[in-house]
Chains A and B, each alone.
Chain A
């Protein structure tokens, strides 16, 4: 139990959950609008790479963050165009974007930065370091020294919930994901709302990627997202397509990962401990959560009748 009382464990939980929460929220927005999005992995990679590249070129990690989001937005807009305008198979498109992004970022890393990888001098986003916070017993250890993006993430979770469930635009986005024909009949533009959902998703996924490259590190590695986009997909489904659900599922995942790392001190195989988050997720699915039903029109292209 001494492990659980250690603030380091909970610090790591929050830090590990952040790059899952952001793309999981992104996926939630996209799928609530009715577009299945498994491109989070690819968009995260794009975000991670351009965040580093532009931080290095401009010397400002904030501009890097902005550029990462712009690139994520552009890629997701192309994805949205193919999914909405061309009624393409959304799962296939998502895989295409993931492969494209893995190739593009590796290629650009090799051609722009060469074998040495991204320069060590790349600035990274600040960490929150408040003396008054550090003095609070347990919570200081958990919350102080976290990347500023962790705090931004928490705000985004709250705003996303409010936006999806308490604003008119949120209601409209949800309605085109449930019943686009009804929304169309009511005079809403299905495609415009879907573009909105997918692009918000892209911005958030890119933010999640940027957290990895300029939030905790200041470098980019080949395939540095390492499947987090897919785990975020799982967190989104696990969280039943709600912001708080995605947040909770990601926290569970971050906790299991952090616990696995903490338990390594007890000389257990790191490969066996690495299974912990995945087994916990399966157990939780088997016992805690009931059926998770996606939005009714999720993944079904909508043909507008003019």
Chain B
């Protein structure tokens, strides 16, 4: 029990400190903290539709976050999930509006697999090979390729672009309608994509902790020298881990596209690949933690839209709060400091009040 408390308690207390700090900042700027947090929470979880939208927004964060967590477990920092997400979406859309005669279910699987393969290759081939055999830092290569991927997707739907749908809007053709992922809750954005995200999280957890592949991947991450000594092919695992990471980021793009937009548009992604980094970090690369962290960040985002709508507080305030929360969760050693400070204050007060006849405050 004590171990569980230590694992969960400290981040919870750290989050509370951050929330209090955020409230103080909001109050200092002139907004009521109760109104800020109230409208945030009601916007994120106020009803079935709001909750549905929050869960829907968490899907790409969870899937891409799982990808980044897998790379972290292998000691690799895949900062380029955003680009893997984009190129995979391009592939998914392309498959989605070709092959229209196929049965919907098979077509859906083809789209998902196609996106995963492209995402996996995008992360695995160049960054993986360069890291394994040239020692090129994966932070640079994944990020450089990320920009290339985003620009490539933009190129596909630019004027005269290869995937542009004739018309006024810079968007691609739509994917076949019988492959769209339908809603779980009527009228909300929540689709069966959420179920996919949960199943994949469980699958990643099983692979990481219950297969030889997962064990070796984690061994490479915790100590590459020991791994090499134990006979693990470290370069191969570097490539596989980055590829696995890209597969999940690619799946995130395909599921998001099949759930929400159904086509490539300029505003398709809202930087999920970048937020997913924080999701993985906050979850300490634990697959089930990724689910919670993904929902948490999605809630902040949907809640902040409501906050701006209802109380006119700029949405950007939630980024300030998010930053604080991540900061204090990372700097969780502040928790024992704060507790000690409270204890010292209490004992000081006792020493001060005792000589006055034992009168207690209140």
Contact = CB atoms under 8 A, between A and B. Distances in A.
Contacts of A110: 314, 316
B174 interface: no
B326 A99 contact: yes
Name which of A234, A237, A270, A292 has the most chain B CB atoms within 10 A of its CB.
Answer: A234
Interface in B123-173: 126, 130, 134-137, 139-141, 143-145, 147-148, 151-152, 154-155, 158, 161
B66 interface: no
A272 B155 contact: yes
B86 to A, nearest CB: 12
Interface residues of B, number: 46
Contacts of A143: none
Nearest to B127: A282
B188 to A, nearest CB: 27
B158 A107 contact: no
B204 interface: no
Interface stretch (A9-17, A86-94, A117-125): A86-94
Interface string A167-200: 0000000000000000000000000000000000
B151 A100 contact: no
Interface string B302-324: 00000000000010111111111
A7 interface: no
A136 interface: no
Contacts of B137: 237, 285, 292
A270 B151 CA distance: 9
A292 B281 contact: no
Nearest to A234: B140
Contact of B140 (A91, A272, A281): A281
Contact of A107 (B139, B317, B331): B317
Contacts of B270: none
Contact of B126 (A97, A238, A270, A282): A282
Given A91-B281, A272-B155, A278 B148 contact: yes
Nearest to B326: A96
Nearest to B320: A103
Contacts of A271: 151-152, 154-155, 158
Give the contact-size bracket for chain A. 35 or more
Interface string A264-300: 0000011110110011011001100111100000000
A95 B326 contact: yes
Name which of A107, A270, A272 has the most chain B CB atoms within 10 A of its CB.
Answer: A107
Interface in B320-345: 320-324, 326-327, 329-334, 337
Contact of B139 (A106, A111, A233): A233
A290 B135 contact: yes
Contact of A106 (B155, B314, B331): B314
A57 B262 CA distance: 48
Contacts of A92: 278, 281-282, 326, 329-330
Interface of B: 29, 77, 79, 126, 130, 134-137, 139-141, 143-145, 147-148, 151-152, 154-155, 158, 161, 277-278, 281-282, 314, 316-324, 326-327, 329-334, 337
Given A92-B278, A234-B144, A291-B135, 18 more contacts: A82-B327, A82-B331, A82-B334, A86-B331, A100-B323, A100-B324, A103-B319, A103-B320, A103-B321, A106-B319, A234-B140, A237-B139, A269-B155, A272-B151, A275-B151, A286-B136, A290-B135, A292-B137
7 contacts: A86-B334, A91-B281, A92-B282, A107-B314, A230-B79, A234-B144, A271-B151
Interface of A: 82, 86-89, 91-93, 95-104, 106-107, 110-111, 227, 230-231, 233-234, 237-238, 269-272, 274-275, 278-279, 281-282, 285-286, 289-292
